[in-house]
Protein backbone atom coordinates (compact mmCIF):
# COMPACT_ATOMS: atom_id res chain seq x y z
CA UNK A 1 0.00 0.00 0.00
CA UNK A 2 2.83 2.36 0.69
CA UNK A 3 3.93 3.96 -2.54
CA UNK A 4 0.66 3.19 -4.31
CA UNK A 5 -1.56 5.95 -5.61
CA UNK A 6 -5.02 5.69 -4.09
CA UNK A 7 -7.96 5.27 -6.45
CA UNK A 8 -9.09 8.64 -7.71
CA UNK A 9 -5.65 10.08 -6.99
CA UNK A 10 -3.76 12.59 -9.08
CA UNK A 11 -4.67 10.85 -12.35
CA UNK A 12 -8.40 11.39 -11.85
CA UNK A 13 -7.94 15.04 -10.91
CA UNK A 14 -5.74 15.63 -13.93
CA UNK A 15 -8.24 13.87 -16.21
CA UNK A 16 -11.14 15.87 -14.80
CA UNK A 17 -9.28 19.16 -15.17
CA UNK A 18 -8.42 18.43 -18.80
CA UNK A 19 -12.03 17.51 -19.51
CA UNK A 20 -13.28 20.75 -17.97
CA UNK A 21 -10.81 22.72 -20.03
CA UNK A 22 -12.28 21.10 -23.12
CA UNK A 23 -15.78 22.24 -22.13
CA UNK A 24 -17.18 18.82 -21.27
CA UNK A 25 -17.61 19.37 -17.53
CA UNK A 26 -21.28 18.37 -17.28
CA UNK A 27 -20.79 15.13 -19.20
CA UNK A 28 -17.63 14.22 -17.28
CA UNK A 29 -19.29 15.02 -13.95
CA UNK A 30 -22.20 12.72 -14.84
CA UNK A 31 -19.87 9.91 -15.89
CA UNK A 32 -17.78 10.24 -12.73
CA UNK A 33 -20.86 10.25 -10.53
CA UNK A 34 -22.29 7.24 -12.35
CA UNK A 35 -19.02 5.34 -11.98
CA UNK A 36 -18.80 6.18 -8.28
CA UNK A 37 -22.38 5.02 -7.76
CA UNK A 38 -21.57 1.71 -9.46
CA UNK A 39 -18.51 1.24 -7.25
CA UNK A 40 -20.53 2.00 -4.12
CA UNK A 41 -23.43 -0.25 -5.15
CA UNK A 42 -21.31 -3.36 -5.70
CA UNK A 43 -19.00 -2.79 -2.72
CA UNK A 44 -15.83 -2.05 -4.68
CA UNK A 45 -15.58 1.51 -3.35
CA UNK A 46 -15.49 0.31 0.26
CA UNK A 47 -13.04 -2.44 -0.67
CA UNK A 48 -10.66 0.02 -2.31
CA UNK A 49 -11.06 2.59 0.47
CA UNK A 50 -10.23 0.04 3.16
CA UNK A 51 -7.34 -1.39 1.13
CA UNK A 52 -5.66 1.99 0.94
CA UNK A 53 -6.68 3.70 4.18
CA UNK A 54 -7.35 1.19 6.99
CA UNK A 55 -3.72 1.07 8.10
CA UNK A 56 -3.56 4.86 8.32
CA UNK A 57 -6.90 5.06 10.14
CA UNK A 58 -5.65 2.53 12.70
CA UNK A 59 -2.29 4.27 13.00
CA UNK A 60 -3.85 7.63 13.91
CA UNK A 61 -6.39 6.05 16.28
CA UNK A 62 -9.55 7.41 14.68
CA UNK A 63 -11.83 5.33 16.95
CA UNK A 64 -10.22 6.85 20.04
CA UNK A 65 -10.72 10.46 19.03
CA UNK A 66 -13.49 12.80 20.07
CA UNK A 67 -15.56 13.87 17.10
CA UNK A 68 -17.39 17.17 16.97
CA UNK A 69 -20.20 17.22 14.45
CA UNK A 70 -20.76 20.73 13.14
CA UNK A 71 -23.47 22.16 10.94
CA UNK A 72 -22.21 23.89 7.81
CA UNK A 73 -24.66 26.55 6.62
CA UNK A 74 -22.63 27.02 3.44
CA UNK A 75 -23.34 23.53 2.10
CA UNK A 76 -25.53 23.39 -0.95
CA UNK A 77 -29.05 22.04 -0.32
CA UNK A 78 -28.18 19.36 -2.90
CA UNK A 79 -25.44 17.94 -0.67
CA UNK A 80 -26.51 14.32 -0.03
CA UNK A 81 -25.97 14.35 3.75
CA UNK A 82 -28.44 11.52 4.30
CA UNK A 83 -26.57 9.10 1.98
CA UNK A 84 -24.22 7.37 4.43
CA UNK A 85 -22.33 5.70 1.58
CA UNK A 86 -20.79 9.09 0.73
CA UNK A 87 -19.46 9.91 4.20
CA UNK A 88 -16.67 8.44 6.29
CA UNK A 89 -17.53 7.55 9.89
CA UNK A 90 -14.66 5.99 11.87
CA UNK A 91 -17.13 4.27 14.20
CA UNK A 92 -18.62 2.31 11.28
CA UNK A 93 -15.29 0.61 10.56
CA UNK A 94 -14.99 -3.16 10.88
CA UNK A 95 -13.05 -4.02 14.01
Q: Could you read off the pLDDT of 19-72 as tens digits, one per residue?
A: 556 567 788 888 998 999 999 999 999 999 999 998 998 899 988 888 888 999
Distance (Å, whole) CA 60 – CA 71: 25
Q: Distance between CA 37 and CA 43 in Å, rounded?
A: 10
Q: Give the Cα-Cα-Cα angle 58, 64, 69 (nearest 5 degrees).
A: 110
Q: What is the pTM of this model?
A: 0.61
> CA 89 from chain center: how many Å?
12
Amino acid sequence: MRGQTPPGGAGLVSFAQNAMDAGHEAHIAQRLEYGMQLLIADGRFDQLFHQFYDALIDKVGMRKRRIFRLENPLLSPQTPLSNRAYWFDPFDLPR
